[in-house]
A = this chain, B = another copy of it.
Amino acid sequence: LLPIIWKDENNTLTILDQSLLPFQKVYVDLKDVDSTALAIKNMQVRGAPAIGITAGYGMVLALTSNKNVKTLDEAIRELTRAKAILDSARPTAVNLVWATSRMLTLAKNAVENGNAKTINELIDLMKVEAKRIFDEEYDAEIQMGLYGLEKLNDSDTVLTQCNAGGLATGTGLGTALSPVKLAKALGMNVSVIAPETRPWLQGSRLTVYELMEEGIKVTLITDTAVGLVMYRGMVNSVMVGADRILRDGHVFNKIGTYKEAVIAHELGIPFYALAPTSSFDLKSNVNEIKIEERDPNEVRTIRGIPIAPENVNVYNPVFDVTPPKYIAGIITEKGIIYPPFHENIKRIVER
Binding site for B on A (CB under 8 A): 22-23, 193, 195-199, 201, 204-205, 208-209, 212, 217-229, 231, 234, 254-256, 258-259, 262-263, 266, 291, 299-300, 302-309, 312-317, 320-321
Shortest CB distance A297–B (Å): 11
Bound-state Cα–Cα, A220 to B316, Å: 9
**Chain B residue contacts of A199, Cβ below 8 A:** 222, 224
A65–B41 CA distance with the chains assembled, in angstroms: 61
User: With a CB–CB cut-off of 8 A, which chain B residues contact A314?
Assistant: 219-221
> How many chain copies does the complex carry?
2
Q: With A and B bound together, what is the CA distance between A166 and B255 in angstroms?
A: 30
Chain B's closest residue to A266 (CB) is B262
- Taking CB atoms, residues of chain B closer than 8 Å to A315 are 193, 219-221, 225, 229, 234
> Knowing A299-B196, A315-B221 touch, does A204 contact B308 (C-beta < 8 A)?
yes
CB of B223 within 8 A of CB of A198, answer yes
Q: Say what secondary structure dominates the interface of chain A.
A: mixed
Do A231 and B320 have beta carbons less than 8 Å apart?
A: yes
* 20 additional contacts (CB under 8 A) given A201-B307, A224-B259, A228-B321: A198-B198, A199-B222, A201-B308, A204-B299, A204-B300, A205-B308, A208-B308, A209-B309, A220-B314, A222-B299, A223-B224, A224-B256, A225-B316, A227-B256, A227-B259, A228-B255, A228-B317, A231-B320, A234-B315, A302-B302
A320 with B228, Cβ < 8 A, contacts A218-B312, A308-B204 known: yes
The CA of A317 and the CA of B193, in the complex, are separated in Å by 14
Judge whether B320 and A225 touch: CB under 8 Å: yes
Nearest chain B CB to A153 CB, angstrom units: 21
Using Cβ atoms and an 8 Å threshold, which residues of chain B touch A303?
Answer: 302, 305, 307
A248 to B191, CA, bound (A): 35
Contact A307 B317 (CB under 8 A): no
> Across the interface, which residues of B come within 8 angstroms of A23, CB to CB?
306
Q: Are A220 and B255 within 8 A (Cβ)? A: no
